[in-house]
Structure 1
Amino acid sequence: MNNPVHGDLIDGKAISALVLSEVGAAVSALREQGVHPALAVVLVGDDPASHVYVRNKVLRAEETGIRSIEHRLPAETAQSVLLDLIGQLNADPAINGILVQLPLPAHIDETRVLEAINPAKDVDGFHSSNVGGLSQGRAVLTPCTPAGCMRLLEQTCGTLAGKHAVVIGRSNIVGKPMAALLLQADCTVTVVHSRSIDAPALCRQGDIVIAAVGRPRMINASWLKPSAVVIDVGINRIEEDGKSRLVGDVDFASALPLVSAITPVPGGVGPMTIAMLMSNTVRAARQQHISHTQAVSATEQACLTTS
């Protein structure tokens, strides 16, 4: 397989296409066993960015053969109504993955909603059971953006063991799970955050730098070690030269001549997040099928024993 890294750029679109191809093959294999992977996407409210994200997720699902079911609810939807819907989706054996698009309206408790999702169908990897399992190194559904970053790093660097990885940001969605995945890959991991002393000096130690702080162009070349591999998770919209544009947390122009490889924004991590969501959905469908088959087999064995 050709390595889809072109010069200093890590091509997230090309690598996500590889992941989606793998997902499509896995979907075909499951269908031969009578399993039709299905993803339920719940969108509450009219946030424009959320609508774009959901549309892209639905398109990728259709491309890979995953059945996508959308539930669009008005912004004033009561929390109890949303929880009832999640309960129905949990109980539906035809639904393998459940994704509640964030952010939710202010009157809805995000934590309570995420905790209501069956961990086996939690394809975002946000349920506390999956978060805890990740920290213990168990095989659980993993948050999609960190999982996508890991695939980019594996494709770019090969083995990660022994490398010093610096994660900038400690959010529950990216920073913390990213650190856990890097530790599983036998990296030495430093997490840099707003209270860190001399953050640039800490970052310069990194063979790998993951930027996930949500501050446009905060990390410039002076923060980076020559030959570092940089994964820029940030997606920030700014006004520049009278135009609106997307930029990352890394000052791309200053970093590019220094580092060995870097993700662009857009076109880097973003496509990987959706690709890993599809991968998680197939993984959930496969595991649920195995669990169901084992349960049926155990029931049949019990009937034979008692007959």
Structure 2
Amino acid sequence: METLSAQPSTKNVSATPTPPKKRKKGIWQSIVQQRYLYLMSLPFVIWVFVFSYLPIWGWTMAFQNYKPAKSFADQKWVGFDNFVRLFQDERFYLVLRNTLAMSILGMIVSFVFPITFAILLNELRGKFFKRTVQTVSYLPHFVSWVVVGGIITKMLSIDGGIVNELLIWLGITDQPIQFMAKGHWFWGILTASDVWKETGWNAIIYLAAITGIDKELYEAARVDGAGRFRQIWNITLPGIRTTIAVLLIMSIGHLIGIGFEKQFQLSNALVTDYSEVLDIYALKYGINIAHFSYGTAISMFTSVVGIVLLLLANGIMKKTTKESIM
């Protein structure tokens, strides 16, 4: 008998086919595939370009002795003279002090109060009461600062103001206190007004972040005997740490660019040395006195310093907490 070979024949064995490599989509192919999303975002891109990037061309006025009647080519270039004048003005440092003081106070309370309010609101068990409190708390956000300024001024008025009436009724004072005439009280009044108006609105994002925390962590903590305070400290706060870090970085970027609506509505001639901020300072010189170049230099300083602070805050946060917005 013939001995059969134990070795298998390899002549008819076909090689395993190699799967084709996936080709990466080109940028144009991706745009075509997601064209509706790009079209939906196009109006917002145009809006940002027109109102945020196109006006940067106006920064050239900071280096000119700008005259509205002359064309761009006929303007007189003065280099950094407007910035030298800015840093030699004593009023600038007073205004910078006010801006930093109100901004830092606002930044502190805009984190402490909304975070605390969001955590306390999250601890409520009654859904109807919880939703009612949340709705009532963020309604003041939609009230204009013109209206809020009138309400605050009326409440603190010496002529029938509810605050003075309450203080007299409680026996704390015998005569009405002129709150709006005391400059060193202005920062506190402004900060308290901002807390009332914005706490509920600012708490929404923290409530959303708390909602995203895994519920099983709380159940495991309760099994281990952790009370509510321990759960807040060890689960809730670490769970929203990323949100807090991102909002803190963005707030630092607006440290000296805080706007002027609040200060403009609550200010008066008696507290100008405490209420005037950089934006009002730029408005006075740029519009009221028609020193357009000097006003532009003030606004340019505010924007550049804001960008630098944003980059520094982002870099420090990235190294210390590994959180970043860039």
**What range describes the TM-score normalised by the shorter chain of this pair?**
under 0.3
**Structure with more of its chain in helix, by fraction:** 2
Report which of the two structures shows the higher radius of gyration computed on alpha carbons: 2
The structure richer in strand per residue is 1
